[in-house]
Amino acid sequence: MSDRCELCPRRCGRRPGFCGAGGLPRVFRWGPHFGEEPPISGVRGSGCVFFSRCTMKCLYCQNSPWSWRGGGADKTVAELTEIFRGLALVDRVENWNLVSPTPYLPSIREALKPLRDEGVSLPAVWNSSGYERVETLEEYSDLCDWALFDLRYSRDETARFASAAPDYVACSRAAVAWAWRRLGAHAIVRLLVLPGHSEEAVENLAWLATELSTEIPVSLMCQYTPSHAALRVPPFNRGVTEEEYAAVVEAAADFGFENGWTQGFGAADPASALHGENMPPDHGTVR
Ligand code: SF4
């Protein structure tokens, strides 16, 4: 893979850049995941591949062992091919779920090519913070049969403070708009309600309703659990209140969203919500 990289909105130029990704794809864990949205997990589970490093730096990151600290192992393209092959033929998952794939897109495409040439082909899920460049999405649209994109913030100052991504709002909204126009109902928007910032989720719902469509599937998430640097930074050092989450769910109903999912408030076990902190590397079921 080239040392040059302008795959995400950072447009670093040279590697290693902001995300710290090197020339080889680095993978932390891979395996079937049964906890994604129903059309993604299906019956046999979604074949997640958690790529190491991330183009965002979220102070509350729940995957910091590999996203911030670079855990995992470098894989050659051939090794990555075998990971995808095992997910398809041994685990028999529903799809290849590429979690934070952006720094490694050229290698992922190269790894999937021999499988697709052999007729071993699954839908590809581009699972992302939403911090993407439309040019990159267009160039690698063969890796995006489903988009699972976040809209995390509606205000640049929050995105700057909490994720070091001052241009997040414009970039993520452009990415979601691209996905909706290209994929329709295969574009799922995740709104993770953040403590003290539930109004930003409502503002993003308003933007979706007015600029795109109330038919776009939305996943309203209350599973936020303080971790990593957020343990010391109010209000990110607490969970979301029932009132904050209810305000977002009500707003979605008021705007007339027709498709999507909510989470049972309080149903999540805080320990499992932090599974990223405790999940072992390599192959295995993902909780
Ligand atoms: S993917 Fe990483 S190296 Fe490439 S532009 Fe983004 S932050 Fe920089």
For each of the chain's 287 residues, which pLDDT tens digit applies? 667 899 999 999 999 999 999 999 999 999 999 999 999 999 999 999 999 999 999 999 999 988 988 889 999 999 999 999 999 999 999 999 999 999 999 999 999 999 999 999 999 999 999 999 999 999 999 999 999 999 999 999 999 999 999 999 999 999 999 999 999 999 999 999 999 999 999 999 999 999 999 999 999 999 999 998 999 999 999 999 999 999 999 999 999 999 999 998 875 555 555 556 678 887 888 87
DSSP 8-state code for residue 282 = E
Ligand 1 binding pocket (C-beta < 6 A) is 5-8, 10-12, 15, 17-19, 21, 55, 102-103
Distance, first Cα to last Cα, the chain: 31
Residue 146 pairs with which residues in a beta bridge? 125
- Is the residue at 171 inside a domain? yes
Closest-CA residue, ligand 1 atom 1, reads 103
Residue 202 neighbours by CB under 8 Å, 6+ apart: 247, 248, 251
CATH of the domain at 164: 3.20.20.70
Beta strands in the chain (DSSP E): 4-5, 13-14, 26-33, 46-51, 73-74, 96-99, 124-128, 146-150, 187-192, 218-221, 260-262, 282-283
Residue 241 neighbours by CB under 8 Å, 6+ apart: 195
- Is the residue at 8 inside a domain? no
- Is the residue at 98 inside a domain? yes
- Is the residue at 6 inside a domain? no
Atom of ligand 1 nearest to the CA of 6: 5
Rounded to the nearest angstrom, the distance between the alpha carbon of 25 and the centre of ligand 1 is 13
- Is the residue at 13 inside a domain? no
Domain of 275 in residue numbering reads as 25-283
Residue 234 burial by Cβ neighbours in a 10 Å radius (0-12, 13-18, 19+): exposed
Q: Could you give the CA distance from residue 176 to residue 271 in angstroms, rounded to a whole number?
A: 31
- Is the residue at 10 inside a domain? no
Closest-CA residue, ligand 1 atom 6, reads 8
Atom of ligand 1 nearest to the CA of 5: 4
- Is the residue at 19 inside a domain? no
Give the count of domains, the chain. 1
Closest of 4, 22, 2 to residue 13, by C-alpha: 4
Q: 218 to each of 205, 207, 276, 280, how far by Cα in Å?
A: 9, 13, 23, 30
- Is the residue at 16 inside a domain? no
Closest-CA residue, ligand 1 atom 3, reads 17
Reported pTM: 0.95
